[in-house]
A and B are shown apart, each in its own frame.
Chain A
Amino acid sequence: MMPWIPRGLREGIVTSRYPRHPDGYGEGFRGTVIVHATSGTPEQLALATRACPTGAITTVHDRPRVDRGRCILCGRCAELAPAVFSLDPSFETAAVDPRGLVVPAGDDDESAVEQVRSQLAGRVRMLRRSVQVRHVDVGSDGADEWEVAALSNPVYDVQRLGIFFTASPRHADLLLATGVGAVGMLGPLRETYDAMPTPKVVVAAGVDAVSGGLLGGGYASRGGLVGEIPVDVLVPGSPATPFGLLYGILLAVGRLTGAKPRRSRTSATRTSVAHPDGPTSSAPGSRS
């Protein structure tokens, strides 16, 4: 083991300081789609709407809106109607309700979403300092698992925030589900959910899990997981990126409040690093 130690030391600190401080990751990165107030030409807008492979763009009263829960970030709309749509590296896009993923938000939507959020916050008070996560693949393409696993690498290092992966649903507070809702996994998904103690929260990660994305809704898969089990937080992305997932998990356990997440109570949670490690924790750092 000895030769390994200096290598890590030489590297210095690679861990992100998010969410306490913003993380600069993502120059040119496709995090999400932004809809600008300018509407461009109707022709451009029509082209972009038609070109969207998942039908995520709708226009009501000349006002284009994008459902990030459907968007697979292919970038066609930004190419065809650059005045209206652009790709942006921001990753704080998760929402507590499908309506919260539609941008720009409708007038009624914001208050409705806020209501859902406060209900959720009341339910998860116990989970704020530390949360045990059980991941279930419900028919993903495999990329989602890489991103979930990346949360344990030294860059994201979610254990510093009191977030741990657990093997047993009995230890789990948070169910992190990926995938389109493949028919064969719906039973195991429900069983896992039922096996978890209350209070519990569910995060659906990636557009496949949120809406079915490009491939849901055939003979063997649902259009996402909403309606299969009670989903509390939806994380868009194809797949959802590690930062996007982290934001979604923090949102689910009520550690982010309001529209300005970084000005949150996370400073109080920094003490939770010394969480006693459960015997079934699969966090790799806790072994050996």
Chain B
Amino acid sequence: MTEHPGVSGAHNAAGGSRRFEATERDEMPQGPEMSESSDALDPNALRERVLDALRRGGRFCGLFGSAAPGGTQLLAVVAHEGAFRTTTMNVPAGLSSYPALTPSIAAAAWYEREIHDLFGLEPAGHPRLDPLVLPLADGAAHPRPGSHGNASPRAPSPLAPSPLAPSPRAPGLVQLDTTPLPAHLHGEGVFTLPYGPVRSGVFESIEYLLETPGEYLPHVRSRVYYKHRGIEVRFEGMDVADGVLLAERFEGTASVAHAIAFSRAIERLAGMTASEEAELVRIIHAELERVAAHLDTFIRQVEAAGQAVAYSRLTLHKERVQRLRARLCGSRFGRGVVIPGGVAGAPSLQRSDLVAITGKIESAATADLRLLMATPSFVDRLRGTGVVPEEVARRHGAVGPVGRGSGQTVDVRASHPYGAYGLLGYEPVEPSDEGDVLARQRVRLQEIAGAFRLIEGAALRLDRVAGSGRWRVPLEAGVSGEALGWAESPQGEILSLVRAEEGHLVRVKPRSASFHNLALFATAFPRDIFTDFAFIEASFGLSVAGVAG
């Protein structure tokens, strides 16, 4: 593990100088990391290097902030075939702005809004710096994730004498500025229809601002801050074993994927990899999670279409998947399975039972989904609805089924193979380039089939290698350093940036696929009307928790 020059102690000692410093580093799936670094006085260095990486065929994955002793560290991640390249730049404490990336890289827009909210750092030249995750009232202090590592780590009060008292941990909530945003669209009869945050069904809280002349939806904005839990800061000071439990709760519908990304980052810091049997168990759980989440998108659509029988059928299949997950590990969401160093233990189902149950679920669910996709009253609602053009998806680097429905091939199970996916000969689905809701759902249909093949393959292989029983390898105590982990969640690629010192987490930044893709949601309404909204929203399949943080 190479020391990260941007955050090493020697470097920070000189942090007071008003110098922008940029460094680059490669995160390879296997083997040692390659790093190159250089100091630069040019504040545009970060943008130039990211732009250069994109010109060489890279895909923009995100831009993240971290409080560093000498100011704020900005870290951009660009994916290349087989590797992720990180570029960092330190913005010295005395400066309150840096040159924005967004004017040249549109996909950075939401990341820079988040940095602005969390760090109070202004990306100069950003075209629309509306608050995203935390609209702070004037004068409120920014949370600055990365600066709380020394705060008392986990201090839930002992419950005696009375559990009635609200948690004494709460140091006081931040003050939010909840004034409505000014409208972007102006024209005769155009008005803003706020929809949410309390929705008209059982949904996560989010507010959509629909700017409309009536019926059509020329401009849709998503306001996610209502659910901001400040979870990134909660990581700080935790030990790595507790950290993975929190990672599972960053985005509950992708618990397993987040646990895998986080654990793999820790394993890289410890310079070890989990055993093959542990990686196979991870795949079984991750793919069951995918089946459940993909079924959920169909469920929300048949509910919106009023298909009562299909709703009953699909919710039954999903319930059976959730119960199977509970039988394997005790949790309906696969929680507690993935831990840094491997998995908690052997699956509590024999291979033959597992394969028999998944076989039954698959044949029943696939038959129903095929019938559904041949039901004109349903398919008519999907075809041509919510088109994300291929060009838009490519420029944004859209991930997951949203990207794959619009001609993108981003699937880190294949492009940046991790765990045992390589061993199982995983083949990603062929992307579709129509870009409509139907294309995304067809991709999911194929992915459900692919997930069942992976589960079968993993179960078979597990039978052959499980004799050794090396479910978890103990981590060396006190891991330190900085690493990136990744995984393909049902929603798409997720990243987990982890920095630890002596076994304690100093900064954890999970980037969900939901965060990256929700920025595209606004582009998906070119000719669509109010009643298409539920279908388009479900076809994105996103979790608000994973966006709001």
- Where the two chains meet, the residues of A that have a C-beta atom closer than 8 Å to any C-beta of B are 1, 3-5, 7-8, 11, 14, 25-30, 53-56, 58, 60, 65, 67, 69-70, 72-75, 87, 97-99, 101-102, 135-150, 152-155, 165, 167, 169, 179-180, 182-185, 187-188, 192, 208, 211-224, 226-227, 238-239, 241, 282, 284-285, 287-288
Q: Give the one of A4, A30, A102, A212 with max B CB within 10 A.
A: A4
Name the prevailing secondary structure of the B interface residues.
loop
Contacts of A167 in B (CB 8 A): 200-201
Task: Give 1 or 0 for each of B308-331: 1 = CB within 8 Å of chain A CB.
Answer: 111111011011001100110011
Q: Is the CB of B251 within 8 A of A142?
A: yes
Which residues of B from 8 to 58 have beta carbons under 8 Å from A?
none
Nearest to B200 among chain A residues (CB) is A167
Known: A4-B309, A137-B204, A288-B308. A143 touches B163 (CB 8 A): no
Known: A58-B158, A72-B245, A139-B227. A223 touches B253 (CB 8 A): no
Contacts of A143 in B (CB 8 A): 249, 252-253, 255, 333
Q: How far is the CB of A194 from chain B (nearest CB, A)?
A: 12
Nearest to A31 among chain B residues (CB) is B330
Answer yes or no: B477 CB below 8 A from chain A CBs. no
Nearest to B309 among chain A residues (CB) is A4
Q: Is the CB of A192 within 8 A of B163?
A: no
CA distance A163 to B395 in the complex (A): 47
CA distance A220 to B231 in the complex (A): 9
Q: Is the CB of B313 within 8 A of A8?
A: yes
Which residues of B from 52 to 67 have beta carbons under 8 Å from A?
none
Contacts of A98 in B (CB 8 A): 162-164
Q: Is the CB of A217 within 8 A of B167?
A: yes
Q: Is the CB of B163 within 8 A of A211?
A: yes
Q: Is the CB of A224 within 8 A of B167?
A: yes
Supply 15 further A-B pairs (C-beta < 8 A) apart from A138-B205, A182-B227, A282-B200. A8-B312, A58-B159, A70-B159, A139-B226, A142-B253, A147-B332, A180-B229, A184-B197, A212-B156, A212-B167, A214-B249, A218-B233, A218-B234, A223-B169, A227-B166
Q: Is the CB of A188 within 8 A of B296?
A: no
Task: Give 1 or 0 for each of B133-171: 1 = CB within 8 Å of chain A CB.
Answer: 010000000010000000000111111101110110111
Contacts of B307 in A (CB 8 A): 288
CA distance A168 to B80 in the complex (A): 49
CA distance A214 to B371 in the complex (A): 42
CA distance A233 to B296 in the complex (A): 28
- A53 partner, pick from B160, B242, B316, beta carbons under 8 A: B242
Q: Is the CB of A136 within 8 A of B156?
A: no
Q: How far is the CB of A115 from chain B (nearest CB, A)?
A: 14
CA distance A40 to B368 in the complex (A): 52
CA distance A187 to B331 in the complex (A): 32
Known: A56-B159, A219-B233, A223-B167. A30 touches B330 (CB 8 A): yes
Q: Is the CB of A102 within 8 A of B163?
A: yes
- Where the two chains meet, the residues of B that have a C-beta atom closer than 8 Å to any C-beta of A are 134, 143, 154-160, 162-164, 166-167, 169-174, 176, 178, 197-198, 200-205, 225-231, 233-234, 242, 245-246, 249-253, 255, 292, 296, 299, 303, 306-313, 315-316, 318-319, 322-323, 326-327, 330-333, 335-336, 344, 348, 367-368, 371, 543-546, 548
CA distance A285 to B303 in the complex (A): 9
Q: How far is the CB of A164 from chain B (nearest CB, A)?
A: 12
CA distance A92 to B101 in the complex (A): 53
Q: How far is the CB of A2 from chain B (nearest CB, A)?
A: 10
CA distance A146 to B253 in the complex (A): 8
Contacts of A212 in B (CB 8 A): 156, 167, 169
Q: Is the CB of A185 within 8 A of B164?
A: no
Q: Is the CB of A142 within 8 A of B331?
A: no
Contacts of B348 in A (CB 8 A): 28
Q: Give the one of B157, B292, B296 with max A CB within 10 A.
A: B157
CA distance A227 to B371 in the complex (A): 49
Contacts of B198 in A (CB 8 A): 136, 169, 188, 192
Known: A140-B204, A220-B174. A153 touches B315 (CB 8 A): yes
Q: Give the one of A25, A142, A179 with max B CB within 10 A.
A: A142
CA distance A101 to B546 in the complex (A): 30
Contacts of A183 in B (CB 8 A): 173-174, 176, 228
- B143 partner, pick from A25, A144, A220, A227, beta carbons under 8 A: A220
Contacts of A67 in B (CB 8 A): 159, 163
A-B residue pairs in contact (CB < 8 Å), sample of 23: A4-B309, A8-B309, A27-B327, A28-B326, A28-B327, A74-B336, A101-B163, A102-B159, A137-B204, A140-B227, A149-B299, A154-B315, A214-B245, A215-B249, A218-B234, A219-B230, A220-B229, A222-B167, A223-B166, A223-B167, A223-B169, A238-B249, A288-B306
